[in-house]
Amino acid sequence: MSGNDKRAAGKDVAPAVPDAGADAPVAAAAAVIGRAAATGADLRPLFGLEDKVVLVTGGNRGIGKQIVVLLESLGARVAYTDRSDRPSEHGSLALHADVTYPAEMEQALERVEAELGPLFGIVVNAGITRDAMFHKMTHRDWDNAMSVNLTGAYNTVRPVFPLMRERGEGSIVFISSIVGERGGIGQVNYAVSKAGLIGMARSLAREGARRNIRVNVVAPGFVESDMTDKIPAEIRDQITAEIPMQRFARPVEIAWPVAFLLSPVAGAFITGAIVDVNGGHRM
Ligand code: NDP
């Protein structure tokens, strides 16, 4: 039976979004795409990411992992950095690379292009917190946050941007944070690094626009991940009470807007944008 026959017969044609764990929205997305496929419709062209090569930094867990899963489900060939050698079962290529080392990122790019093809998109996702009240913040706290969140972004994009210029095509999404927009107690270093990404994105958006390179920012609010697992329960309750939607985001809820902005179809005329994904927290 051909694929079309199976669709006509209403058989379940492999849902395009694999279940990356107990994440209901991922399963819901799989159901939507699976249902569309069952009726002969393929939703993937809506995003135009089929066979596009995309690099996601920090794609082995947390938000980055869900971005890998979703992009793959939309047909992209996804490489991701896995600094700590704990690869997930998703994506086409796991790269042992630390964003703080320019040479490792250059080698990673060479490998992506050799094994998967010309890079179309980058999601600058790798990030850390080194929280401390400012009067107690050490130089090491400051340097660590800057070197991963900001210099790491530079190291990731720097070798790729000239190639995108030559090819006249590219799409970059930076994962900033609500904290970069409104500040955060005990997070001066993190806030500065995440605000810096907005300046980097908007400058690159201006430089890249005439070469068909779009550059955008997703600024999540609080998201369920290892990063926020460290927040003490009492503080977490206070934060949740401030969020109009009364909960933290699920990682896949960050992945969808990333895919939208990355897309040369859905996001075709969007560049220099900051998309807040925070359940109303910054209204
Ligand atoms: P996690 O702590 O769950 O994951 C962080 C990811 O970054 C891991 O894949 C980690 O890899 C990677 N990473 C850290 N340092 C490096 C490095 N030097 N080189 C390469 N990779 C590195 O965080 P989240 O998934 O929650 O966060 C992802 C992004 O979203 C971050 O930029 C974060 O600042 C941002 N964000 C998160 C929010 C939240 O509430 N969780 C809110 C707003 C923004 P490894 O496994 O090897 O350590």
Residue to mutate, 181, 193, 198, 225, ligand 1, most ligand atoms under 8 Å from C-beta: 225
Q: Is residue 109 within 8 Å of 55, Cβ to Cβ?
A: yes
Closest residue to atom 6 of ligand 1, CA basis: 58
- The residue from 80, 101, 154, 190 that is catalytic is 190
pLDDT, tens only, 70-126 = 999 899 999 999 999 888 888 999 999 999 999 999 999 999 999 999 999 999 999
Residue to mutate, 68, 88, 90, 128, ligand 1, most ligand atoms under 8 Å from C-beta: 128
Q: Which of 158, 159, 160, 126 is nearest to 145 (CA)?
A: 126
pTM beyond cutoff 0.85: yes
pLDDT at site 44: 81
Concatenate the DSSP letters of all residues of 116-165 into one string: T-SEEEEEE---------GGG--HHHHHHHIIIIIIHHHHHHTTTHHHHH
What dihedral do alpha carbons 60, 65, 71, 72 form, nearest 10°? 60
- The whole-number average pLDDT for the span 278-282 is 97
C-alpha distances in Å from residue 230, one per residue of 31, 110, 139, 225:
33, 36, 22, 9
Question: What CATH number does domain 52-277 carry, 3.40.50.20, 3.40.50.720, 3.40.605.10, 3.40.50.1010?
Answer: 3.40.50.720
pLDDT at site 229: 94
Domain boundaries, the chain: 52-277
Q: What are phi and psi of 249, to 5 degrees?
A: -75, 155
Rounded Cα distance between 109 and 157, Å, is 10
Ligand 1 contact via 274 beta carbon (within 6 Å) = no
Concatenate the DSSP letters of all residues of 6-44 into one string: HHHTT-----SS---SS-HHHHHHHHHHHHHHHTT---G
